[in-house]
Every structure is written in C-alpha cells, then in structure tokens.
Amino acid sequence: MTTRLLINGRARDVDVEPHRTLLEVLRDTLGIFDAKEGCNEGVCGACTVLLDGRPVSSCLVLAVATRGKPITTVRGLERDGDLHPLQDAFLRHGAVQCGFCTPGMLLTAYAFVEAHPHPDRAAIREALEGNLCRCTGYTKIVDAVEDYARNRCG
C-alpha cells in the first residue's frame, strides 16, 4: 500500500504493508534511526515520536494509520542545522549518557513545555514518567528541561 508519510516536514511516499508499525517503517524501510526500539509495548518511551504534535509510541502505531499526519522525530527539532535550545540544555546539563532514551526524552519534554510553558519540577517529572532512562538517574534530565523552560520564556 503506497502511503504518504510526512516526516519532519518532508513528504515520503512509501510502500508499506498494513501490519508494519511506524517504528519498523522508520528504521527498517527508511533508515531513520531517530526512534529506538526498547520494549515494543508502549512502556519505555525510546520509540517516541510526535504525531500531530503529540507524543506517541511509534511501536504501537500502524504506519499506514499515520498517512498524511505530521510526524516529528528528534531530528525535526533541529533549527537550521543547529541544535534546538532544549537539546543544548541537555548537553550543558549532562542529561545524556548512553543516549538511548534521549530522542524520546527530548520529544516528550518539548511537547510538554509547548503545552505547559511554566512547569515546576514535579510537573516535569510527572510529564516524563513514561520515558525510562537507565543511566542518568533523571535528575540532570529534569534540570535540563527546567532550565530550558525558564530561559525559553525570557
């Protein structure tokens, strides 16, 4: 089934079998490795992408069902080849260790701060509840998101 996927603002017509998840099509068909496969059951958040601006588990979405809807992977956060300020905050705070959780953390945090521009730490922790990190212990991730949200609003 030829399906039009809108990935990071670019339309791609892809031949997709209906039983393929978006995660499989991104990685195996298109070679886009921004979304990671962790649990394949919606728990870990490593495969997070934004669909219509909202975080979803790409392991639990059929690729055909996303036809015509904007998909954002972590690379979609870049601004003219520069890191997004949120990515920059992750770097400065040491919020990245192995990096496996990072694309999902970034996209989830980005969508959260768009919807809640003045979050406190507790709200940030709660927003990231569904994204597991095995390395950082979360503190530096929360620091980075807090810093980004604060500076974003001036």
Partner 1 sequence: MQPFEYAAPASVDEALALLARHGADAKVLAGGQSLVPLLNYRLARPRFVVDVNDLPLDEIRVDAGRVRLGALVRHSTLAASAVVARECPLLTEAAALIGNVRVRSLGTVGGSLAHADPAAELPLAMVALDARFELRSARGSRTVEVRDFFSGYLTTVLRPDELLTSVDAPPTRGAGTAVEEFSRRPGDFALVAVAAIVTIDRQGRVENARVAIGGIDGVPRRIPAVENALRGEPPATDRIARAAELARAEVTPQSDALASGEYRTLLAGVLTKRALARAVSRAMAVPA
Binding region for partner 1 (CB under 8 A): 1, 17-21, 40-43, 45, 48, 51, 54-57, 59-62, 64-65, 108, 112, 126-127, 129-131
**Binding partner of residue 73 among ligand FAD, ligand FES, partner 1, none, CB under 5 to 8 Å per kind?**
none
How far is Cα 121 from Cα 127, in angstroms, rounded to an integer? Answer: 10
Asked if 124 and 89 count as a contact pair (C-beta separation under 8 A), the reply is no
Least distance to ligand FES from the beta carbon of 98, Å? Answer: 3
Binding to ligand FES by CB under 6 A, coded x per residue (else -) over 32-71, reads -----xxxx-xxxxxx---------x-x------------
In one letter, which amino acid is 93? H
Among 18, 99, 117, 137, which residue interacts with ligand FES (rule: CB under 6 A)? 99
Least distance to ligand FAD from the beta carbon of 107, Å? Answer: 17
Q: What's the Cα-to-Cα distance from 126 to each of 29, 46, 114, 120, 121, rounded to whole Å?
A: 34, 17, 15, 10, 9
Q: What's the Cα-to-Cα distance from 29 to each of 20, 26, 57, 107, rounded to whole Å?
A: 10, 6, 18, 22
Least distance to ligand FAD from the beta carbon of 23, Å? Answer: 14
**Binding partner of residue 54 among ligand FAD, partner 1, ligand FES, none, CB under 5 to 8 Å per kind?**
partner 1
Least distance to partner 1 from the beta carbon of 137, Å? Answer: 16
How far is Cα 4 from Cα 74, in angstroms, rounded to an integer? Answer: 20
Least distance to partner 1 from the beta carbon of 92, Å? Answer: 25
E strand or H helix at 51, and its extent?
Answer: strand 48-51
Site size for ligand FES, by CB under 6 A?
23
How far is Cα 148 from Cα 93, in angstroms, rounded to an integer? Answer: 10
